[in-house]
Amino acid sequence: MRCVEQHPVVAVLGKGVVPAETPLLRADDLGVLRGDGVFETIYVRHGEPWLLAEHLDRMAKSAAILEIGLPPRAALEELAAETLAAWPHSIEGAFRIICTRGAEHGDGSPTVFATLSEIAPERRIARRDGVTVVTAALGYAVGVRDDAPWLLGGAKTLSYAVNMASMRHGGKQGADEVLWVSADGFALEAPTASLVWLDGDELCTTPVRGTGILAGITVRYLLDHASEVGWRTAERLIRPEELAGKDGAWLTSSVRGLVAFRSLDGRPFPSSPHTAELQKLLGYPL
């Protein structure tokens, strides 16, 4: 058990690492006023950002959807290197890169900075023990966001008020997590995680195309490497009530890795013998 708290690292594009208490945002920054910006959270182990290139690719896609001009890729990579250089290799970290549209009355330049903080103990506990989950209606039918680009389907934006409200709703129901369900009854994703399940020898997830969900990087890694444990892969829709009959159901995210369903809407899930295989494939410590 760790006894000494590891303080966060903060870095600013073009300035490098700064004291963590340094003011970074103007009062009229649109990231604060309107949640107008994009971000990525990247898992750090042994001092290295896992799947950094994939996260930066997704950030570029999110910025394009919002029509925000990201700095050059090399500048973001340099910001990452500066931040990581100040982090102990022995501590798991959550590295976040943030890009807002900038100040409302500024010169049009985006605000770009990064933070790196220690992963909370409850994240590790969830990897080991799994999570209880409740469903919540998202309010959109499958396919709606594909035809309404202003809904920002597939973009990882700073507008997380709905995500956090969903998590608080789940907490009030006594659950650890929430699974969003479309208006036509299909399981989509969690507020901060992707859904994955095993059906025989087929590892499945919800398709990004046609649903407007965020393309999960951790779940993509799992599907790309599923053949290493002898599984096929598929992307298809599933109803929440069908998950209990599968050979395992999990949520995946960059910080936690993979966590198993312990229950869904109060219905217990049996412990899947395949959880350990998937966790080993991802390489996250328990």
Q: What is the pLDDT along the chain (286 residues), one digit of tens a residue?
A: 455 578 999 999 999 999 999 999 999 999 999 999 999 999 999 999 999 999 999 999 999 999 999 999 999 999 999 999 999 999 999 999 999 999 999 999 999 999 999 999 999 999 999 999 999 999 999 999 988 999 999 999 999 999 999 999 999 999 999 999 999 999 999 999 999 999 999 999 999 999 999 999 999 999 999 999 999 999 999 999 999 999 999 999 999 999 999 999 999 999 999 999 999 999 998 7
Domain boundary at 86, 119, 152, which?
A: 119
Written as one string, the DSSP assignment of 88-118 is -TTS-EEEEEEEE--BTTS-SPPEEEEEEEE
Answer yes or no: is 2 within a domain.
no
Domain boundary at 90, 119, 148, which?
A: 119
pTM, full prediction: 0.95
The confidence score (pLDDT) of residue 105 equals 95
Tell me: do 221 and 252 sit in the same domain: yes
The confidence score (pLDDT) of residue 154 equals 95
Count of structural domains within the chain: 2
Domain boundary at 119, 142, 174, which?
A: 119
**Backbone torsions φ then ψ of 39, nearest 5 degrees:** -155, 165
Tell me: do 47 and 168 sit in the same domain: no
Tell me: do 186 and 251 sit in the same domain: yes
- Beta-strand pair 131-137/257-264: parallel
Nearest CA-CA partner of 262 in 98, 133, 101: 133
**Backbone torsions φ then ψ of 68, nearest 5 degrees:** -110, 135
Question: Which alpha helices (DSSP H) does 106-216 contain, by range?
Answer: 121-129, 161-172
Element (H, E) at 57: helix 52-66
Residues contacting residue 258 through CB under 8 Å, at least 6 positions apart: 127, 196, 218, 222, 250, 251, 252, 275, 278, 279, 282, 284
Tell me: do 145 and 213 sit in the same domain: yes
Answer yes or no: is 3 within a domain.
no
- Strand, helix or coil at 2? coil
Give the separation between CA 28 and CA 250, rounded to whole angstroms. 40
Answer yes or no: is 252 within a domain.
yes
Answer yes or no: is 1 within a domain.
no
Residue 236 structure tokens: 């298809």
The confidence score (pLDDT) of residue 285 equals 87
- Residue numbers of the domain that contains 92: 9-119
Strand order in the sheet with 16-18: 16-18, 9-12, 111-118, 93-100, 37-45, 48-49
Tell me: do 100 and 222 sit in the same domain: no
The confidence score (pLDDT) of residue 6 equals 84
Tell me: do 265 and 160 sit in the same domain: yes
Answer yes or no: is 196 within a domain.
yes
Tell me: do 141 and 261 sit in the same domain: yes
